[in-house]
Structure 1
Amino acid sequence: MKRHGSASWQGGFKDGRGTISTESGALAAHPYGYAMRFEEVKGTNPEELIGAAHAGCFTMALSAVLGGAGLTAEQMDTSAEVTFEKQGEGFAITKIHLTLRARIPGTDDAQFQELAAKAKANCPVSKVLNAEITLDATLEG
């Protein structure tokens, strides 16, 4: 199975403009640029897309792990905070912090924490990232 994404860029590093697209059409020539990435200007950037991908992958991985334990979530909400820092001559994603809030009938916090850690370790996006990945998991209700 293969998935595809693409980017196009015109101009210099700071004054140039680019677009990001996905095979599915979820993003179709969506604009991005220096200011959106480094100056907090509204718009997308690769780091927030990695954060969204990681949150989605982890949450789906947790759903699979829960199913293996005979559990089903009523609700799971995951956010990913991506830390993007200057390192040497360039930049790197140095940390991703996942925050999960979930309602899962039939489990306790100890089992929930164990299953969430297993999902984090087995999430394909977690595996590909060369960053510290931390997790706060809160079982609600």
Structure 2
Amino acid sequence: MLGKIAVPDVSAYSRFAIVWELPADLDLRVTDGTKVLVGSGTSASDGDQGVIALGSTAVQSPVLARVYSVRSQTLGDADITGELRITPASCGRTLRVDTVYSSRGIATTADQAIRVPLCGTAGDILVLKNLAPAPKLAAPK
């Protein structure tokens, strides 16, 4: 045996991930109360919640992801948005973005087609709202 590492119980965390391929260029922004976490190339974390950047553009056909993780069984009141940079390589195209939501150890995925504005807007940012699932409230029986 080379080593041992403890992995936190998956059911103790909720996670939301956005996954894409080039030429898309995305950031994940999470606002929770006074905290703002952005996962753009580096990790941002405060212990119980954080955003981590995964993937590398230095490989052939890269797949990239940003993952928001919070020690809770729900995402709580976090406002989660994607920020898509409009570049000459992406403008005027329809890009595929996948989302993954994990809560209580159960993951659900969604595939979204994002229409990027025409090329006169290169350098702007397209804010992607409503990516995360709406919280479900338990009804009394």
* TM-score interval, smaller chain: under 0.3
Normalised by the length of structure 1, the TM-score is 0.28
TM, length-normalised to structure 2: 0.28
Select the structure that is richer in strand.
2
Of structures 1 and 2, the larger Rg is shown by 1
More helix by share: 1
